């Protein structure tokens, strides 16, 4: 998981949020609870958040990814509008823009009516998921030293982030990382004994290109970016080569230091 940056509220939601909420809450009051509203009336009142402009904004919010597992949703099913605080428990939040996120069916369904207010999970907008989680092999785990350990653990359990189908695509990223790490090691070994400046610059450029490629694969737009960022930050080889690149910025004609996301 990585942090989500929320775009501005869609104009239609901004305009009608109060009206739609009032209509829904009147039904809750009339029937004595959200679950007691007749299905046809509930559907009419609730499904306004599926307006095309709202749906598009939610889809674009996280680059077509699920906020929990970071899968590209079009590859794993339709984009679901996730209500972080479930509308069945907190109907007053049904049309709150900050309560809406894009999620895949595999994460959204098990979360269902889970009470995230009473039992908090990691909120990908308010919290910093990269401080809440660590990765061992291809599995996500709550960070033991995080004050949000319990929130992280709940998020993994409730959204089933240890489901087997996530392992294969993450394993492919790990395989690509190990191949790049091997190239970095070999290129550094070639670089060390060289005396000629042009030969050294050639090796440094190769190192820089490999690092840049890995960095691009960990961009916000990429699937499982949180996993790759963690691996890159915790690789001694990657950290050594970043230091080497930053020692030779002028020779490489780079305008600024190389940094990971």
What is the per-residue pLDDT across 36-85, written as a single tens digit (0 to 9) for each? 999 999 999 999 999 999 999 999 999 999 999 999 987 545 788 999 99
3-class DSSP string for 195-227: CCHHHHHHHHHHHHHHHHHHHHHCCCCCCCHHH
Q: What do you get for the CA distance between the two ends of the chain, in Å?
A: 13
Domain end point (choices 113, 146, 162): 162
Query: pLDDT of 156-198, one tens digit each?
Result: 999 999 999 999 999 999 999 999 999 999 999 999 898 888 9
Q: What is the model's pLDDT at position 75? A: 52
**Together in a domain, 199 and 154:** no
**Together in a domain, 119 and 184:** no
- Taking the whole predicted model, whether its pTM rises above 0.75 is answered as yes
Dihedrals φ, ψ of 257, to 5°? -65, 145
**Together in a domain, 112 and 176:** no
**Together in a domain, 104 and 51:** yes
Provide the domain limits for residue 230: 166-246
**CA 156, 113, 74, 151: dihedral to nearest 10 degrees?**
-20
**Together in a domain, 37 and 119:** yes
- Cα separation, 179 vs 216, in Å, equals 16
The residues that bridge with 139 in the sheet, in sequence order, are 136
Q: What is the model's pLDDT at position 79? A: 81
**Together in a domain, 132 and 170:** no
**Together in a domain, 197 and 142:** no
Domain end point (choices 109, 139, 162): 162
Structural domain contains residue 108: yes
Overall number of domains in the chain:
2
Tokens 């089933």 sit on residue: 160
Structural domain contains residue 253: no
Structural domain contains residue 261: no
Residue 209 has pLDDT above 60, yes or no: yes
Say if CB 58 and CB 81 are below 8 A apart.
yes
Say if CB 159 and CB 82 are below 8 A apart.
no
Query: pLDDT of 227-236, one tens digit each?
Result: 999 999 999 9
- Find the range with the poorest average confidence among 69-73, 130-134, 192-196, 203-207: 192-196
């Amino acid at each position: 998981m990585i942090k989500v940056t929320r775009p501005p509220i869609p104009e239609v939601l901004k305009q009608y949020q109060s009206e739609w909420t009032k209509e829904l809450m009147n039904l809750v009051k009339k029937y004595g609870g959200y679950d007691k509203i007749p299905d046809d009336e509930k559907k009419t009142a609730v499904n306004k958040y599926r307006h095309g402009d709202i749906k598009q904004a939610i889809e674009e919010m996280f680059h077509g990814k699920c906020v929990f597992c970071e899968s590209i949703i079009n590859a794993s099913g339709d984009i679901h509008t996730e209500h972080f605080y479930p509308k069945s428990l907190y109907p007053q939040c049904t049309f709150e823009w900050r309560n809406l996120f894009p999620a895949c069916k595999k994460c959204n369904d098990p979360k269902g009516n889970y009470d995230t207010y009473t039992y908090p999970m990691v909120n990908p907008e308010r919290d910093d998921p990269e401080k809440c989680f660590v990765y061992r092999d291809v599995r996500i785990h709550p960070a033991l030293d995080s004050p949000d350990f319990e929130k992280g653990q709940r998020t993994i359990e409730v959204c089933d982030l240890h489901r087997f189908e996530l392992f294969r695509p993450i394993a492919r990223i790990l395989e690509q990382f190990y191949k790049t790490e091997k190239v970095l090691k070999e290129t550094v070994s070639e670089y060390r004994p060289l005396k000629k400046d042009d030969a050294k610059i050639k090796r440094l450029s190769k190192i820089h290109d490999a690092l840049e490629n890995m960095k691009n694969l960990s961009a916000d737009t990429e699937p499982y970016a949180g996993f790759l960022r963690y691996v890159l930050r915790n690789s001694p080889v990657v950290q050594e080569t970043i230091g080497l690149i930053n020692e030779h910025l002028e020779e490489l004609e780079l305008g600024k230091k190389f940094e990971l996301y």
